[in-house]
Amino acid sequence: MIKAQQISYKHKEFHILDAVDVSLGYGEFLAIVGPNGAGKSSLLSVLANEVKSKQEILFKDKNISDWHVQELSKHKAKFSQHNSNDIPLEVKDVVMMGRYPYFDAQPRQEDHEAMNNMMYETDVYHLKDREYNTLSGGEKQRVHLSRVMAQLQNEIEKKLVFLDEPLNNLDIKHQYKALEIIKKFTENSNSAIVVLHDLNLAAQFADKILLMKSGKVAAYGTPTEVFTAENISKAYNFPCTICDHPITNNPMIIFG
Amino acid sequence: MKAQSKLYFYITISTILLAIIAVWSLNTGVYDFGGKSAFEVLRKVIQGDESLSLSDKYVVWDVRASRIIMAILVGSMLAVSGTTLQGLFKNPLATGEAIGLTSGATLLAAIAIVLGGYFKQYLPEMVQFSLTGISAFIGALLAMMLVYRISTSSGKTNVVMMLLSGVAITSIGFSITGFLIYISKDEQLRDLTFWNMGSLAGATWTKNIVLSGVILIAYSILLPKGKALNAMLLGEKDAEHLGINVEKLKKQIVIITSLMIGTCVAFSGTIGFVGLIVPYILRLLFKSNYTFILPLSAVLGSILLLIADTISRSIVAPSELPIGILTSLIGGPIFIAILIKFKKSL
């Protein structure tokens, strides 16, 4: 799906990313975890072609900067960490933006369907006529999730979604709902790269984990491989214990 | 009602309104057609009636009709340029006047009028003829690039910086234009005063043809940009993820709004606040949905300026009130209203 080697990114002599390798297969759910300032968001920006790096990033075996902007928007979408607080539009107008790559002047039937479906799934359908600016932080977050996922509702196979801390401000129920939507998306050989803070949720939902520290990859592999007490304590500089999740048998991390 | 048919409905209604106002405007004025109405004269002009007196024809066709068309074209362009600028800067306070584009255009037009006399004979005839127009365009373009550079970094606009750089450019423009007025000859002085006040009295059919050309080019590029401007509300990076070529969009907006504002300034001087009032009214009805307010501002701008111009030439008849006085009188309070609303979100 996406392949990049030795990504480095500097800001004023400060190495934000230092020789990071990323490779993601079709249908994989990759969670990027790590302490603050580890370079998680920067890595996501580089991979999503927001900032140019010197190294080549291959998206579906073609250099990502060689893709046509509009064509690319049907194959990949990104959920940003800092969504605008001031969008003087109604919720349904914001979600419909996700369909902009598909129509010229007038949304077609399928655009309305994609919009409505995603609003149902993210539980914002009842807010569709509300003004976006009057929503709470978590509700805004769900509106954008809805928009980003609606953007990838199409016939194209093997799509990729980037999500930068999509669970911020969400309550427990909606955290699980959001992750379930992403998980369902990856079941049809689509892939997802998600920056997460909650290690237990990452262990439960992700296929692969990329643990970062100070711009470098600290560990990479399946949740069981990466989430060892040693790896995590070292990366976060904080003691922890690992045990088995009583239901899923995934690693469960208890801090302190 | 579906969104698209709702848009066509509003456009039709406002176009009909514009036509009615144009008819009213044609029949408003001090000139006495000897008992006939202006419409009878206009009909005779169109039929090419020989019995028509030259002065009747002149008043209806060359004075009033051309002025009405000019008000429609200029008003429309000013409103659309305001709306697109607000989309680019993601703020309802961005207009040609507030960020210094109009001053930039006026300044270079003034330089062209006063200093142009010295080197005019060395220029090719085409350029001579349109020297003020081209200068005004370049002035607006330079001001625009300067403001954008100062106020926007990594895709985010700092509104305070945007407005303050507008203040700076305006004051530079004001002082140099003042100096030019001081050194200029009588005939140039009359021209300069006209730029500063703003007036549609200089309307001719030749100017209208040029304006129509500009409007045709500008609108064919700008009017389909409603979706793109909506997406810009998310931020430039997210707009790019939605398949919008943001760099190209910004360049198009910068060049075309400068072209429109420059042309308007060259032909009718500085008529303030149209680009602020019209989107403000439309936002009350349609929020910031640019797929609505962009095409509708094209019609509403015409309506506003045509009403303002008809009032300004009839309210103190037979004399004329500078049109800028009227538009600023409405625009000033609206600017304050937006500021107060904006204060809450700071």
To the nearest whole angstrom, how far is the Cα of B234 from the nearest Cα of chain A?
6
Q: What ipTM did this prediction achieve? A: 0.91
Which parts of B122-273 fold into alpha helices (H)?
125-129, 131-151, 159-183, 186-197, 205-222, 226-232, 236-241, 246-268
Q: Does B1 fall in a domain? A: no
Q: Chain B within 8 Å of A67 (Cβ-Cβ)? A: no
Question: How many residues can be counted in chain B?
Answer: 346
CB pairs < 8 Å spanning A and B: 73
Tokens of B336: 């304050």
Contact of A235 with A211, CB cutoff 8 Å? yes
Instruction: Determine the Cα–Cα distance for residues B275 and B278; give it in Å rounded to an integer.
Output: 6
Instruction: Determine the Cα–Cα distance for residues B102 and B38; give it in Å rounded to an integer.
Output: 35
**To 10 degrees, what angle do helices A137-151 and A172-186 make?**
10
pLDDT at A179: 96
- Which DSSP letter does residue A90 get? B
Q: How many CA atoms lie within 13 A of A136 on its CB side?
A: 7
Q: Does B31 fall in a domain? A: no
Cα B129 to chain centroid distance, Å, stands at 21
Q: Does B37 fall in a domain? A: no
Q: Does B281 fall in a domain? A: yes
Q: Give me the residues of chain A with pLDDT under 50, please.
A: none
Q: Does B35 fall in a domain? A: no
**Which residues on chain B are in Cβ contact (under 8 Å) with A101?**
242-243
**Which residues on chain B are in Cβ contact (under 8 Å) with A80?**
235, 237-238
To the nearest whole angstrom, how far is the Cα of B19 from the nearest Cα of chain A?
26
Instruction: Determine the Cα–Cα distance for residues B80 and A181; give it in Å rounded to an integer.
Output: 41
> Could you tell me which of A246, A236, A247, A244 has the C-alpha nearest to residue A256?
A236
Q: What are phi and psi of A14, to 5 degrees?
A: -105, 120
Q: Chain B within 8 Å of A90 (Cβ-Cβ)? A: yes
Tokens of B340: 């107060």
E strands, chain A, are 2-11, 14-24, 29-33, 57-59, 62-63, 76-79, 160-164, 191-195, 208-213, 216-221, 240-244, 251-255
Tokens of A232: 């995590």
Span A197-235, pLDDT tens digits: 999 999 999 999 999 999 999 999 999 999 999 999 999
Instruction: Determine the Cα–Cα distance for residues B291 and B296; give it in Å rounded to an integer.
Output: 9
Nearest residue in chain A measured CA to CA from B240: A69
**Which residues on chain B are in Cβ contact (under 8 Å) with A83?**
234-235, 238
Q: Chain B within 8 Å of A77 (Cβ-Cβ)? A: yes
Q: Does B232 fall in a domain? A: no
Q: What are phi and psi of B251, to 5 degrees?
A: -60, -45
Number of domains making up chain B: 1
Residue in A93, A98, A105 nearest the CB of B4: A105
pLDDT at B266: 86
Instruction: Determine the Cα–Cα distance for residues A191 and A188; give it in Å rounded to an integer.
Output: 9
Tokens of A79: 């959920």
Instruction: Determine the Cα–Cα distance for residues A113 and A97; give it in Å rounded to an integer.
Output: 14
> Could you tell me which of A133, A124, A137, A253 has the C-alpha nearest to residue A197?
A253
- Which DSSP letter does residue A160 get? E
Q: Answer whether A78 sits within 8 Å of B4, measured CB to CB.
A: no
Give chain A's end-to-end CA distance (angstroms, integer).
38
Q: Answer whether A73 sits within 8 Å of B243, measured CB to CB.
A: yes
Q: Answer whether B233 sits within 8 Å of A84, measured CB to CB.
A: yes
CATH number for the domain that contains residue B274: 1.10.3470.10
Q: Chain B within 8 Å of A48 (Cβ-Cβ)? A: yes
CATH class of A2-255: alpha beta
How far apart, in Å, are the Cα atoms of B58 and each of A68, A143, B41, B306, B319? 56, 60, 10, 20, 19
Q: Does B230 fall in a domain? A: no
Structural domain boundaries enclosing B328: 54-224+250-286+297-345
Secondary-structure percent of chain B, ordered helix, strand, coil, rounded to 5: 80, 0, 20
Give pLDDT tens digits along chain B (346 positions).
567 788 899 999 999 999 999 999 998 887 777 777 788 888 888 887 777 788 888 888 888 999 999 999 999 999 999 999 999 888 888 888 888 898 899 889 888 878 877 776 777 766 666 788 888 899 999 999 999 888 887 767 777 888 889 899 999 988 988 888 888 777 777 767 766 778 888 888 988 999 999 999 999 999 999 999 999 999 888 999 999 999 899 989 989 999 999 999 888 888 888 999 999 999 988 888 999 999 999 999 999 999 999 998 888 877 888 888 888 888 888 888 888 877 766 5
